[in-house]
Amino acid sequence: MEIPKLPSNEQERLEILKEYHLLDTSPEVDYDNITKLISTICEVPIALITILDKDRNFFKAHSGISLQESPREISFCGHAILSDEPVFIIKDARLDKRFINNPFIDSENTVFYAGVSLVNPEGYVLGTLCVFDYQPRTLSEIQKDALIILGKQVVTSMELRRQNYKLESAKKQLTTHNQELKKFASHVSHDLKSPLANIISLTQLLKEDLEDKISSSAEEYLFYINESALILKDYIDGILLHYKADELLKAKKQDVQLSELCEDLKQLLLLQSDALLCHATETIKNINKPALTQILINLVDNALKYNDKVKRTLHMTYTSLSEFHEFSVTDNGIGIAENQQEMIFQLFKSIPLKNNKKPSTGIGLNTIKNLVAQLGGDIKVSSQLGQGSNFTFTIAK
């Protein structure tokens, strides 16, 4: 008996083999069916799908034999993977010097062997699809072709398995990376809010304290410092909202009294000269209140921010549709050009504004649109320049 030599690329082959996660796995119907089929086609009692490990021959599928594995040093497959023949055939192992006194012949009474190597796309041999018989024989050309074809089918199945594992691994890494990025963005944004608020308030205090005492150019510098700080604040608020959206979707549904929600919005966002008219007093049953509140806060805040009227007036309405809750926020602000109305929902897209007004960050409305979509609804805008805008959104019941 001769112990089969190792392939020249054995170390690399074993490393590649790990990517398939086949060793010591439970039987699988697809592989079992292939061994049963090739056993029938070749008219033999035993058929195996084997995986050549470092010191053993693992039987991923076996028909006609109860063994789960065998030592590699006595395996027929160890010799088969070294062959250049399309089908490695041993007519009578008792007469072949490589197998004389092989204990596998004695224990299983197998004398005939035919196998094809399972070669992956990179050229590494993973194992074999093979058949055994208890008596000397050979295979017909049709049977050889069937063995080759089904061997390729086994490799295809293994490749799908390998790619699925790679995709799952990549998915886990991406999820972990996103969680870390989310945590980082939230942490940094929170840490920036406090000093940024100080810059805004101190700039305003400095401006008031030095009123009529500084040059027009110095006053302009203070104005730009304040504007820059406010722009940065909007970005930070947008980032926090973007990463907060997933948490909002997890909130339990509850009843919402619209008149109370409207009062909360007034207290939070409006000045004394502003007016928010709520044309809705209903109690909405079983709705995601945190998500709804955040959507309305964003829309009301935008309606106030991009409004050049002396008296900023907003209207909020609610309509109960058959399958949706429908809300709208209408303002008397600066309006949006028709050719720019779709752009405002795109991430980091903003509309250039006149009169030195700071533009949107392009985060808030995109996040709101995605949040509404996750709630099973949609959001749209209608607007005329100089007359105001109407934002209407739905939430699935």
The answer to the question of residue 238 being in a domain is: no
How many domains is the chain partitioned into structurally?
Answer: 2
In this predicted structure, the answer to whether residue 358 has a pLDDT above a threshold of 60 is no
- Structural domain for 368, as ranges: 251-397
Domain final position from 129, 152, 169: 169
185 or 337, greater pLDDT: 337
In terms of domains, do 160 and 284 share one?
no
In this predicted structure, the answer to whether residue 340 has a pLDDT above a threshold of 80 is yes
Torsion sign across C-alpha atoms 245, 251, 255, 261: negative
Report the CATH number that the domain containing residue 304 is assigned in CATH.
3.30.565.10
In terms of domains, do 265 and 385 share one?
yes
In this predicted structure, the answer to whether residue 30 has a pLDDT above a threshold of 80 is yes
The answer to the question of residue 219 being in a domain is: no
The answer to the question of residue 382 being in a domain is: yes
The answer to the question of residue 300 being in a domain is: yes
pLDDT digit string (tens) for 278-296? 998 889 999 999 899 989 9
The answer to the question of residue 131 being in a domain is: yes
Q: How confident is the model at residue 229 (pLDDT cuts 50, 70, 90)?
A: confident
The CA distance from 145 to 287, in Å, is 63
Q: How confident is the model at residue 316 (pLDDT cuts 50, 70, 90)?
A: very high
In terms of domains, do 256 and 157 share one?
no
The answer to the question of residue 232 being in a domain is: no
pLDDT digit string (tens) for 88-97? 999 999 999 9
CB-CB contact of 18 with 53 (8 Å): no
The CA distance from 366 to 363, in Å, is 5
Phi, psi for 58 (deg, rounded to 5): -85, 130
Write down the pLDDT at residue 203.
82
The answer to the question of residue 364 being in a domain is: yes
The answer to the question of residue 306 being in a domain is: yes
Phi, psi for 108 (deg, rounded to 5): -110, -5
Report the CATH number that the domain containing residue 61 is assigned in CATH.
3.30.450.40
How many C-beta atoms lie closer than 10 Å to residue 73's C-beta?
Answer: 14
In this predicted structure, the answer to whether residue 67 has a pLDDT above a threshold of 80 is yes
Phi, psi for 144 (deg, rounded to 5): -65, -45
In terms of domains, do 138 and 15 share one?
yes
Domain final position from 169, 199, 222: 169
Residue 265 burial (10 A CB sphere; 0-12, 13-18, 19+): buried
In terms of domains, do 143 and 258 share one?
no
3-state SS of the chain is CCCCCCCCCHHHHHHHHHCCCCCCCCCCHHHHHHHHHHHHHHCCCEEEEEEECCCEEEEEEEECCCCCEEEHHHCCHHHHCCCCCCCEEECCHHHCCCCCCCHHHHHHCCCEEEEEEEECCCCCEEEEEEEEECCCCCCCHHHHHHHHHHHHHHHHHHHHHHHHHHHHHHHHHHHHHHHHHHHHHHHHHHHHHHHHHHHHHHHHHHHHHCCCCCCHHHHHHHHHHHHHHHHHHHHHHHHHHHHHHHHHHCCCCEEEEHHHHHHHHHHHHCCCCCEEEEECCCEEEEECHHHHHHHHHHHHHHHHHCCCCCCCEEEEEEEECCCEEEEEEEECCCCCCHHHCCHHHCCCCCCCCCCCCCCCCCCHHHHHHHHHHHCCCCEEEEEECCCEEEEEEEEEC
The CA distance from 46 to 32, in Å, is 12
Domain final position from 169, 197, 214: 169
The pLDDT mean for the chain works out to 89
